[in-house]
Amino acid sequence: MEDKLGPPRLAQKLLRAFLREDIAEEVEGDLDEKFHADLKSKSKHKAKLNYWYQTINYLRPFAIKKINRYKVMNNYLFSNYFKISTRNIFKHKMISFINVFSLAVGLAACVAIYLFVSDEQSFDAFHSKKENIYRLDEVQKFTGTNEQKVALSMPGMGPAIKRDFPEVKSYVRFWLHGKQLITKDDTKQLIENVMVADSTLFDVFDFVLIQGDINTCLDRPLTILLTESTALKFFKNSSDALNNTVSWDGRDYQITGILKDIPENSHIQFDALLSMVSYTSGENNVNNSWGGNWMTTYLLLEPTADISAMEEKFPSFLSRYIDDPEINTTYKLFLQSLNEVHLASNDIEHDYINYRKFNGSYLTIFYIIAAFILLIAAVNFMNLTTARASHRWKEIGVRKSVGARNFQLFGQFIFESVMLSAFALVVALLLDALFIPMLNDLIGRKLSILPLFQNGWQLSVVLAGTLSLGILTGIYPSFYMTSFDLSRVLKGGNKGEGKSVLRSTLVVVQFGLAIAMMVSTLIVIQQLSFMKESDIGFDKDQMLLVNMNREANEKFETIKNELQKQSMILGVTASGQRLGNNFHQWGFKVIADTGVLSITPSNVNVDYDYLKVYGIEVKEGRGFSKDNLTDNGYAFVINESFANELRLKETVGTKAGHGWYDNDSLGTIIGVVKDFNFNSLHYKVNTLALVVHPGWGYSELSVKIEKGRTEEGIAAVKKVWDEQVPSYPFDYTFLDAHFEEVYRSDKQMSAVVAIMAGLSILISCIGLFGLAAITIEKKTKEIGVRKVLGATESQITVLLSRNFAMLIAIAFIIVSPITYIALHGWLESFAYRININLLVFVLGGVLALAIGLLTISYHTLRSARANPVKALRYE
């Protein structure tokens, strides 16, 4: 019977269980007094609850019994476990090394992958309103061009959506200006990334403003925000910069704020921000601009906003603002959540504001790979431990006969495997500390294992993971070893060990995974080199690209003439846009027999000899020529895809022009070029029109330099540039370097897959090596007898290898179709791809077999060659 007025019994018991004896009296007294006081002022229930609360709150170091006095037994037990485990580990050094090393490599790979993935997933997470921020994207479906998703929107859309949709709290637009020359007195600096942004920037995003007023800094025209490192290029410190001015494009801008440098994990990156008001306050208010898409718009929505309901209202929204009956067939607006922008924008084009964009589906692949590697390492552990069980029969037998219960033995073996995995974790972290800097170089990241130790949560996940790995891999071997029948074990006769189906299965799993990863690596490398080597229809090697400003455009002819005098310069031309991305699309019309066709191809403004310098093949008609006056703005060269789309009887000679040309003042299509991949090979070649518009200005000079004289060429171009264009620094890159950048995400994936495939093969082989050692050791007697009876060395080698070869063959057969399907899926993401050659699979299989046999050959050959007398004398 419980005393109705007393404190809760259970709590009292608990308290007595952990409380230090010398303070028990006073504490119990205090708590009793508290309880009785509570009974007077509160309900019985509340008083009891409070007693519990007080009890739990005595779980403090000062009040708790000293642990060692309480757990003498356990400690003794563990120290015994520890002793036996250490002895076992050191007794079988090779096996222990294999166990620890393969687990360590597996864990190290997992930790590295985890760091990589969590780095990718940390993108944009620092914005406090991230859950409610969306990017306004479009699906464009213009006639005569591939349907495409784009990250651009019209300048008018942002303000209009804010007006028309009550669920939109705010919007902010970015307008990319790219690399710009900013000056302050004599200091001229090329600033890599200049953008224009709305004054609402800080309402939506959490970029940190360290100087200036966050509410008003972008409110006035001709104001600019600089990041701290940009400001330091012009001023001694950021306080000097505030309220000072810098010039851009012939005008002075007041610096109204200094931003902390944009974090690496922000998809929006900039070095300077101009106020959007600079463009909305004058005559040409960009807020009224509809039709052209050249801004990126982000919306901050109410938490309650219904995304699909909003998207349903977009068609009527578009019809309200754009007077075009076709508008809703050519445009579809959609909202993309901020947390998808970095990892799920792979199918989105014209996505210029997306730093380090990454294909998020690769992260899943990485997780799978991590799991595979860990599995392979765990298999090693299980295989080696069970295979070695026979060495411990005596120990188990003695323990059992002295009275050890199964669960006690079980506990010991689990303890052993947990100890090994803890040891492996330490080695893994050391390996990571050593190799992650190298990995960073390879994949262009700034990963570090240090944050792992600063974040208690992550560290406990790692520790818990290792612990459970130790327990999980320990369970089967422990169960296996404790299940021996005592009498049989001690008799020492037939120990009841037949062929281990499970062990063979595990080897099959292991080698299956290793073969799959090896074949995948081969295919991925093939596809990437295909992209690198394939004929993309123009010459991208040795092509120097130089950023041009207005002065460079004005003096373009002079620069070109000067450069062409140099012997190592093979060609000079210029263009409005760089190859490697989609070109801007705008309207184009053609007078066909059936009437006027309106089409929206990609367009690029080029210099007269662009086709010649880039080696683009003209299939029909002719290229541009300076001698024809109409070639300036009134002659068009289109690509084959475009010609096929038009399906005209005579393409060359047809009247055509930009969408805004009058029907009676059109130009002519003068030529058709072979399709070339101006966009990345992920995309099909789009329809394209090339035109010469020197008056529009070119953005880049292309200089083709003779192979082997690159340095000389750069120096020559620099010299001419410095003479001719004092207003703008010589700023260059190479086209093939730019293409490397385009395929970066694919390359990084292939690097990671290759490393992981290598590791999985390594771990599998280490395991096989250990397993071979054990199984062959068991067959020592058999080999001795066979040799005495006249078996040759090669016969014995074959005999010993046959089993392993068989397992690898089975693995190959099971895993090949699965791998084929997976790789086929990956290749689908490329518009231009290789066919999977089945020989690659055969190669992968043979390679695995060869590596496997080579690994065990150390043991097979040694025992085959051994003197049979020794073998028979053993025991």
Partner 1 sequence: MIETRLGEFEEVILLLTGILGEEAYAYKVAEEFELQTGRSVSIGAVHSTLTRLEEKGFLKSEMGKSTAERGGRRKRIYTITAYGKKTLAAARDFKQSLWEQFPGFATSKLSFGM
Q: Please report, as ranges, the residues that interact with partner 1 according to CB under 8 A.
A: 23, 25-34, 36-37, 53-54, 57-60, 62-63
Q: Rounded to the nearest whole angstrom, what is the least distance from the CB of residue 52 to partner 1 in the complex?
A: 11
Q: Rounded to the nearest whole angstrom, what is the least distance from the CB of residue 12 to partner 1 in the complex?
A: 10
Amino acid symbol at 112:
A
Contact 224, 256 (CB under 8 A): yes
Q: Rounded to the nearest whole angstrom, what is the least distance from the CB of residue 374 to partner 1 in the complex?
A: 43
- Please write down the HEC assignment for all residues of 289-327: CCCCCCEEEEEEECCCCCHHHHHHHHHHHHHHHCCCCCH
Q: Whose Cβ is closer to partner 1: residue 57's or residue 564's?
A: 57
Q: Whose Cβ is closer to partner 1: residue 57's or residue 316's?
A: 57
Q: Whose Cβ is closer to partner 1: residue 26's or residue 664's?
A: 26
Strands 187-197 and 272-275 come out as: parallel
Q: Whose Cβ is closer to partner 1: residue 62's or residue 90's?
A: 62
How far apart CA 132 and CA 137 sit, in angstroms, is: 16
801 CB-near residues (< 8 Å, 6+ apart): 853, 856, 857, 860
781-787 contacts, C-beta under 8 A, 24 or more apart: 781/871, 781/872, 781/874, 781/875, 783/863, 783/864, 783/866, 783/868, 783/871, 784/868, 784/869, 784/870, 784/871, 784/872, 784/874, 785/868, 785/872, 787/868, 787/871
How far apart CA 872 and CA 851 sit, in angstroms, is: 31
Q: Whose Cβ is closer to partner 1: residue 36's or residue 91's?
A: 36
Task: Give, as one character, the DSSP assignment of residue 685.
Answer: P
Q: Rounded to the nearest whole angstrom, what is the least distance from the CB of residue 69 to partner 1 in the complex?
A: 19
Closest by CA position to 39, among listed 1, 2, 8:
8
Kindly report the backbone phi and psi dihedral angles of residue 241, in degrees, each rounded to the nearest multiple of 5, phi listed first. -70, -35
Q: Rounded to the nearest whole angstrom, what is the least distance from the CB of residue 23 to partner 1 in the complex?
A: 8
C-alpha radius of gyration, the chain, whole number? 36
Coil vs helix vs strand at 374: helix
Q: Whose Cβ is closer to partner 1: residue 58's or residue 624's?
A: 58
Residue that the structure tokens 């599995």 belong to: 375
Q: Whose Cβ is closer to partner 1: residue 60's or residue 649's?
A: 60
How far apart CA 823 and CA 116 sit, in angstroms, is: 22
How far apart CA 785 and CA 787 sit, in angstroms, is: 5
Q: Rounded to the nearest whole angstrom, what is the least distance from the CB of residue 239 to partner 1 in the complex?
A: 23
Q: Whose Cβ is closer to partner 1: residue 53's or residue 97's?
A: 53
Q: Rounded to the nearest whole angstrom, what is the least distance from the CB of residue 727 to partner 1 in the complex?
A: 53
Q: Whose Cβ is closer to partner 1: residue 57's or residue 364's?
A: 57
Kindly report the backbone phi and psi dihedral angles of residue 227, in degrees, each rounded to the nearest multiple of 5, phi listed first. -80, 165
Q: Rounded to the nearest whole angstrom, what is the least distance from the CB of residue 62 to partner 1 in the complex?
A: 5
Q: Whose Cβ is closer to partner 1: residue 28's or residue 203's?
A: 28
Contact 302, 171 (CB under 8 A): no
Q: Rounded to the nearest whole angstrom, what is the least distance from the CB of residue 70 to partner 1 in the complex?
A: 19
Coil vs helix vs strand at 250: coil
752 CB-near residues (< 8 Å, 6+ apart): 113, 116, 366, 369, 443
Q: Rounded to the nearest whole angstrom, what is the least distance from the CB of residue 28 to partner 1 in the complex?
A: 6
Closest by CA position to 192, among listed 174, 180, 183:
180
Q: Whose Cβ is closer to partner 1: residue 20's or residue 83's?
A: 20
Q: Rounded to the nearest whole angstrom, what is the least distance from the CB of residue 354 to partner 1 in the complex?
A: 49
Q: Whose Cβ is closer to partner 1: residue 63's or residue 77's?
A: 63
Q: Rounded to the nearest whole angstrom, what is the least distance from the CB of residue 63 to partner 1 in the complex?
A: 7
Q: Rounded to the nearest whole angstrom, what is the least distance from the CB of residue 267 to partner 1 in the complex?
A: 44
Spell out where 576-722 has E strands: 588-592, 595-599, 602-605, 618-621, 635-639, 655-658, 667-673, 688-691, 700-705
- Apex 19 CA angle, 18 and 20, nearest 5: 120
Q: Rounded to the nearest whole angstrom, what is the least distance from the CB of residue 252 to partner 1 in the complex?
A: 40
What is the distance, to the nearest Å, from the Cα of residue 333 to the centroid of all Cα atoms in its chain? 27
Please provide the DSSP assignment of 795-860 as one string: HHHHHHHHHHHHHHHHHHHHHHHHHHHHHHHHHTT-SS-PPPPHHHHHHHHHHHHHHHHHHHHHHH
Q: Rounded to the nearest whole angstrom, what is the least distance from the CB of residue 1 to partner 1 in the complex?
A: 18
Q: Whose Cβ is closer to partner 1: residue 46's or residue 446's?
A: 46
Q: Whose Cβ is closer to partner 1: residue 23's or residue 818's?
A: 23
How far apart CA 529 and CA 417 sit, in angstroms, is: 44
How far apart CA 405 and CA 618 sit, in angstroms, is: 86
Q: Rounded to the nearest whole angstrom, what is the least distance from the CB of residue 321 to partner 1 in the complex?
A: 55
Q: Whose Cβ is closer to partner 1: residue 53's or residue 858's?
A: 53
How far apart CA 241 and CA 779 sit, in angstroms, is: 81
Rounded-to-10 torsion of CA 420, 422, 426, 432: 100
Q: Rounded to the nearest whole angstrom, what is the least distance from the CB of residue 29 to partner 1 in the complex?
A: 3
Contact 112, 312 (CB under 8 A): no
Bridge partners for 664 per DSSP: none
Q: Whose Cβ is closer to partner 1: residue 30's or residue 551's?
A: 30
Kindly report the backbone phi and psi dihedral angles of residue 522, in degrees, each rounded to the nearest multiple of 5, phi listed first. -60, -45
Q: Whose Cβ is closer to partner 1: residue 56's or residue 463's?
A: 56
Tell how many helices (H) and how many strands (E) occur in the chain.
32, 24
How far apart CA 362 and CA 297 sit, in angstroms, is: 27
Compute how many other C-beta atoms are within 10 angstroms of the C-beta atom of residue 288.
Answer: 12
Q: Whose Cβ is closer to partner 1: residue 59's or residue 368's?
A: 59
